[in-house]
Every structure is written in C-alpha cells, then in structure tokens.
Amino acid sequence: MSSSAGQVIKCKAAVAWEAGKPLVIEEVEVAPPQAMEVRLKILYTSLCHTDVYFWEAKGQTPVFPRIFGHEAGGIVESVGEGVTDLAPGDHVLPVFTGECKDCAHCKSEESNMCSLLRINTDRGVMINDGKSRFSINGKPIFHFVGTSTFSEYTVVHVGCVAKINPEAPLDKVCVLSCGISTGLGATLNVAKPPKGSTVAVFGLGAVGLAAAEGARIAGASRIIGIDVNPKRFNEAKKFGVTEFVNPKDYDKPVQEVLSEITDGGVDRSIECTGNVDAMISAFECVHDGWGVAVLVGVPHKDAAFKTHPMNFLSERTLKGTFFGNYKPRSDLPSVVEKYMNKELELEKFITHEVPFTEINKAFDYMLQGDGLRCIIRMDA
C-alpha cells in the first residue's frame, strides 16, 4: 500500500459550483476508500458531451457543487476493504457504469446493465454509505456518475474500474471509458455488420465516428455518414466513411434517399444523435428481410418513436444499446488490446489537449463544436 493509504489526500479538483458557470480549480480533501471502493490517481481525463449536458443542467435535477468527469485513465492509489482484484499501482479506466458480477444482468451473457452499478446521474454520493468522499472545509462536494475524474484523486466503486494492460498509453486509451467504446460496440457487438455490407451512421460526432470505425474494422464496403453539418464530412473520411448524405440537401425523407442509393436500403444503421426523427429514419432506411438498426443516442424524455408495424413485419430489426454492450470489467481490457495491436486507431479521435488548469478551454471547444476529444493532462 502507498504511504497515503488510509489517509485523507488533499489535491486539486475542478469544481462546478453552479450550473453553466466555469469550473474552479480548488483544493479538495479526498477521503480514503471504504469497503469495495478504490482510490485512483487520475493522470488523464477527457471531456464528453454528457459532462457538458449535466453541467448545463437544463433538463434534469441539478446537483451542485459537483466534480464532473467520467472519461479517464489512472493508477490505483489504495483499495478499500474487500477489494481483491485490484492493487495499488494497477493501471485502470474508471467507467460511468459498472459490473458487480453478481446480479442477473452481470451473470447474463447478453446484458451489461448491472442492477447495482448501472449509471445514475442524480446520485452524488457513494452507494456504500450514501456519503461523498470529496469535501472542502468539511462541506461535501458531490460525485458524478460514480467517477468524478476532474480531480487529481477520486474514489470509485471497484465494480466501475477496468484493469488494463500497464503498457497501454493512458493519454490515448482513456477515451475508451465512454464515448468511443459506446459507438464501437454498437457496431461490433450489436449491429454486427457482415464483411462487405453497407452501413449508415447517423451523426458524425465522436460516438458516430467510433461507430464508423467499428464498421471499418468489420470490413463494411460502404459506410454512409449522415449529418446536417457538412464540416464534419471531411474529418469522417479518416474513420472509413465512404460517402455522405446531408438531409438538408433533399426535399424528401432521408430514409427514402438512402433506400434509393443502396438499392432498397442499407444492411445496418447506427443512430448516434438522440434525435427521434433521426432514429425513425435510421430504422426505416434498413433493407427489408435482413436490415438491422441500432439506437445509441439518448432521446428527449418526452420523445415518441413512431413507425408503421409493417416495417417490422417485413423483417427489419430495431435494437438499442447501452455502452456498446460492453461489460466494463470483463470487456474493456480487450478493447484496449485492439488499440495495442493497431486494429483500432484512437489518435484520430483526439483533436485537442490542455493542462488541467485550463480545463474550461475543453468546455469551450465542445460548446463551439470544435474537434472530437480534448485530453486534459492532470499533471500539467
């Protein structure tokens, strides 16, 4: 165990004191891990749209003051009681959803939606005792999705930590702990496009481009990118996208356009926008008889999906996915190995890098729609 094990650690964290206001670098106290928890030293973190969405707090219960961040790579500093499969010094990715390995979901080969540790955006405390491990002058600072990686040290439930190859560069593989794995797994684990097939990807942000990367790895012959922002088209070529459709360029539904240019519809489609109209288009554009559409984007809470039942009866399949159907502890290490053996390229997702003191710049880049992933270096 490290010399700091069992002690409160004082470190720097970027605290969101209120919705939509710039984060403030503060000195926080991080309590030692309790039973089934680990304390991590975060080395690199990146900003995901989910952080921004809950920081803006427009559509959900605001929980402040809070430490955001959930895409990261780090090293185990110390472990709490009962933790046997992690030790200080292990290289890890903390994940916003977990794998307890005991519930019906974890025991199922089909599900990754752990009953105990699945994502909970409203909870700002640890499940062990209902308390936060962060404080400033004795006042609690709330957690975010069980990870809170915008801090030099954080405490996470052991079930939300994936132990990975220590040779893997954490400044690259940290992006696998959320968005990239979500898109990649939606294609490889759920859509499963056959070699030579035609795949449509709706939304060419980081998750959509990861879905396209999955189609490239799977050997799809045509990867059609659909987006209303033509600026994204050039970048998408790096991820295997072979052609582009901007729905704004047509006076008919985009599913009709896709059906025409693919002789009856695409073999697989992956929807990564969360826009319910795009979801309907993604389903209706797949070929009858064998087409599969996969929904990844999170819709508005009042959204309703409407399509004619004949679209199902003509043997089209509609699926949804959460975190690309990856079980965090069991499956993420093998995704890291895909990067290590050069099957998966991660560098092209990383468009910016900032020191921790300039974390608000990462928010600016994302709010301006500039780039894909911004790596935040904790030691800089």
Q: Could you give the CA distance from residue 1 to residue 361 in angstroms, rounded to a whole number?
A: 36
3-class SS of residue 235: helix
Buried-exposed string 46-57: b where 16+ CB fall within 10 A, e elsewhere: bbbebbeebbeb
What ranges make up the beta strands (E) of the chain? 9-15, 24-30, 37-46, 71-79, 91-94, 134-136, 139-141, 153-157, 161-163, 198-202, 222-226, 243-245, 268-271, 292-295, 317-320, 350-355, 373-377
pLDDT one-digit tens code per residue, 262-277: 999 999 999 999 999 9
Tell me, what's the pLDDT at 60? 73
Per-residue tokens: 229: 């922002």
Per-residue tokens: 120: 């909970």
Indicate which residue of 39, 66, 70, 268 is catalytic.
Answer: 70
For the chain, the average pLDDT equals 97
3-class SS of residue 176: helix
pLDDT one-digit tens code per residue, 325-376: 999 999 999 999 999 999 999 999 999 999 999 999 999 999 998 899 999 9
Indicate which residue of 106, 160, 285, 374 is catalytic.
Answer: 106
For residue 201, the one-letter residue type is V
CB atoms within 10 A of CB 160: 27
Annotated active-site residue 374? The verdict is no
Does the structure show a pLDDT above 90 at 199?
yes
Tell me, what's the pLDDT at 184? 98
Confidence grade of residue 173 (pLDDT, cut at 50, 70, 90): very high
Per-residue tokens: 196: 């030579």
Annotated active-site residue 49? The verdict is yes
Does the structure show a pLDDT above 90 at 171?
yes
Indicate which residue of 71, 77, 152, 271 is catalytic.
Answer: 71
Annotated active-site residue 133? The verdict is no
Indicate which residue of 133, 222, 352, 373 is catalytic.
Answer: 373
Annotated active-site residue 71? The verdict is yes
Annotated active-site residue 11? The verdict is no
Residues 6+ apart with CB under 8 A from 52: 363, 366, 367
Tell me, what's the pLDDT at 352? 97
Indicate which residue of 45, 48, 97, 272 is catalytic.
Answer: 48
Confidence grade of residue 155 (pLDDT, cut at 50, 70, 90): very high
Indicate which residue of 49, 235, 337, 351 is catalytic.
Answer: 49
Does the structure show a pLDDT above 60 at 1?
no
Annotated active-site residue 285? The verdict is no
The terminus-to-terminus CA distance of the chain in angstroms comes to 26
Annotated active-site residue 103? The verdict is yes
pLDDT one-digit tens code per residue, 54-91: 999 876 788 999 999 999 999 999 999 999 999 999 99
Q: Which among 184, 186, 125, 182 is positioned nearest to 156, based on CA atoms?
A: 125
Confidence grade of residue 380 (pLDDT, cut at 50, 70, 90): low
pLDDT one-digit tens code per residue, 114-137: 999 999 999 999 999 999 999 999
Annotated active-site residue 48? The verdict is yes
Phi and psi at residue 310, to the nearest 5°: -60, -25
3-class SS of residue 380: coil
Tell me, what's the pLDDT at 225? 98
Indicate which residue of 37, 45, 99, 100 is catalytic.
Answer: 100
Indicate which residue of 103, 242, 243, 317 is catalytic.
Answer: 103
Q: Could you give the CA distance from residue 71 to residue 73 in angstroms, rounded to a whole number?
A: 7
Tell me, what's the pLDDT at 300? 86
- What percent of the chain stands above pLDDT 90? 96
Q: Determine the average pLDDT of the residues in 173-193.
A: 98
Tell me, what's the pLDDT at 59? 65
Annotated active-site residue 106? The verdict is yes
Over the Cα atoms of the chain, what is R_g? 21
Annotated active-site residue 222? The verdict is no
Tell me, what's the pLDDT at 122? 93
Indicate which residue of 39, 45, 66, 114 is catalytic.
Answer: 114
- What percent of the chain stands above pLDDT 70? 99
